[in-house]
Amino acid sequence: MKKSVKLFGVFALLLTASVAQAQSGKIAVVDTAAVFQKMPQRQVVAKKLENEFSNRIKEVQRLEADGRSFIEKQQKDMAFMNDKQKQDAQKKLNEMQEAYVQKRMKLEEDQSRRENEERKQMLTRIQGAIEQITKAQNIDLVVERGAVIYLNPSLDITEQVISRVSN
């Protein structure tokens, strides 16, 4: 029992010291997800990526449509085909399917890679804006909004960050 009282006392002392230290510095909170969602560059990047991949998306869609129409045609003609024709049709269908899957997977990988590159650039820009604001306002600690239970609105620099990254 004495041990737990001592442990509690040490914990309370440490907590008091950390609260006192936090009070001596200036703290701010930012919602980076909100900043990211409200960035005008986000829409520009989305349009840029859409244009970058539009031809490949159309190609994958065309391969999918070709595969569907081939299957429909084969189902209609199946009754009139001999075994060799059925094997050839199945082989061609397998090749079409393989080409489709391969192109679709490569497209998805490339899209994901490019989206991550662009997201990283935008997050770097957000981080830079946060650093500029913290230096200008002598802020000692910036905490992510999701890590805070209660927030005095005067500590929230989210709108300032949005304004800074929008310029």
The model's pLDDT over 94-135, given as tens digits with 9 standing for 90+, comes to 999 999 999 999 999 999 999 999 999 999 999 999 999 999
Distances (CA, A) of 49 to 12, 95, 102, 118, 121: 53, 29, 20, 9, 14
Count other Cβ atoms within 10 Å, centred on residue 29. Answer: 19
Write the pLDDT tens digit of every residue in 47-98: 999 999 999 999 999 999 999 999 999 888 888 889 999 899 999 999 999 9
d(CA 22, CA 30): 17
- The pTM of this model reads 0.70
Q: Within its chain, how far is the Cα of 41 from the centroid?
A: 15
* CA dihedral sign of residues 51, 52, 55, 58: negative
Grouping H, G, I as helix, E, B as strand and the rest as coil, residue 144 is strand
Q: Name all domains of the chain by residue range, CATH numbers in brackets.
A: 21-166 (3.30.910.20)
